[in-house]
């Protein structure tokens, strides 16, 4: 808007009236005001969050509120693009990286999209979630497995996990909703609970908050700085996989494999 003088918009409005009629012109004008207003308020929200270190719409409390009230209508397959896509992650990511018979920590199992396979391949699975609804669902769904346990946590700490007891950490579709300050708390805990040589596999955002939805504001640079701060070493980072790289996460996401130095 700042590139045009005010008289331009009056002339544009009159031209639209002439060519398109009153209804179209009003709808167009309302849409334009809403879009521009959304951009301006979005910029203001971002500045406020940075200046005052605000969690925005991704606090632990709000994430718990969202997922406790989410319908989870697709159960275990919530968020899976297709069965083929889900299976590709299992084959090319999970089974490629996680050794059978390991002790695995899953952050944010939700309704158990990856949990069933993790239970199958691990000698012990510890799964934690900030959402009571998800924890109770997983306890019922996987109650017959004696190698799996489910805990409610505070979105930052892992008090239920012993020091140096975990071979692998797995988390998918979770850290894309977690703010950097809370990710830092998790990384500090990963440092404590991972065995020497233990590996974490995290799906997370890298582009910052591109709009004011429920996405984390985490950037690629912030995540790299956090890993360095907590003395982790990146083994691999990728956004696509498969024989011909035919499968991928969203363009604003990545999967990072890292270990303790």
* Residue 53: per-residue pLDDT: 81
- In the block, tokens 């009571």 appear at 132
All CATH 3.40.50.150 domain ranges in the chain, comma separated: 60-260
- For residues 141 and 39, which has the higher predicted lDDT (pLDDT)? 141
Side by side, the strands of the sheet bearing 148-152 are 148-152, 122-129, 102-107, 166-171, 194-205, 253-260, 232-238
Q: Which two tokens stand for residue 253?
A: 């996401």
Among the listed residues 249, 231, 221, 185, the one whose alpha carbon sits nearest the alpha carbon of residue 55:
185
Residue 58, pLDDT score: 76
pLDDT digits (tens, 9 = 90+) for 67-110: 788 777 766 565 555 788 889 999 999 999 999 999 999 999 99
Return the percent helix, strand and coil in the chain, to nearest 5: 45, 20, 30
Pick the CATH number of 60-260 from 3.30.1310.10, 3.40.50.150, 3.30.70.120, 3.30.70.3290: 3.40.50.150
At residue 126, the pLDDT reads 99
d(CA 209, CA 203): 16
Instruction: Name which residue leads in pLDDT, 59 or 199.
Output: 199
Instruction: Using pLDDT thresholds of 50, 70 and 90, give the confidence band for residue 40.
Output: confident
CA 58, 155, 210 angle in degrees (round to 5)? 25
Q: For the segment 213-239, what is each residue's pLDDT rounded down to a tens digit?
A: 667 888 889 999 999 999 999 999 999
Q: What is the DSSP letter of 119?
A: H
The pLDDT value given to residue 109: 96
Dihedral of alpha carbons 45, 46, 48, 52, sign: positive
């Amino acid at each position: 808007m700042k590139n045009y003088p005010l008289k331009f918009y009056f002339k544009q409005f009159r031209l639209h009236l002439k060519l398109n009629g009153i209804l179209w012109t009003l709808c167009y004008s309302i849409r334009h005001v809403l879009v521009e207003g959304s951009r301006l308020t979005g910029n203001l929200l971002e500045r406020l969050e940075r200046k005052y270190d605000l969690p925005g719409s991704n606090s632990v409390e709000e994430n718990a509120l969202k997922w406790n009230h989410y319908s989870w209508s697709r159960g275990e397959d919530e968020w899976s693009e297709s069965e083929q896509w889900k299976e590709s992650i299992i084959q090319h990511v999970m089974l490629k990286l996680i050794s059978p018979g390991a002790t695995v920590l899953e952050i944010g199992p939700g309704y158990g999209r990856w949990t069933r396979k993790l239970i199958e391949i691990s000698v012990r699975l510890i799964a934690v979630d900030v959402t009571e609804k998800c924890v109770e669902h997983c306890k019922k769904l996987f109650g017959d497995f004696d190698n799996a346990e489910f805990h409610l946590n505070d979105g930052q700490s892992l008090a239920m996990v012993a020091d140096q007891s975990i071979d692998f950490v797995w988390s998918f579709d979770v850290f894309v909703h977690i703010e950097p300050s809370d990710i830092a708390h998790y990384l500090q805990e990963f440092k404590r609970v991972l065995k020497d040589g233990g590996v974490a596999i995290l799906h997370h955002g890298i582009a910052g908050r591109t709009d004011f939805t429920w996405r984390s504001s985490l950037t690629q640079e912030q995540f790299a700085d956090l890993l360095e701060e907590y003395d982790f070493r990146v083994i691999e980072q990728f956004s696509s996989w498969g024989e011909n790289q035919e499968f991928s996460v969203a363009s604003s996401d990545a999967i990072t494999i890292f270990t303790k130095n």
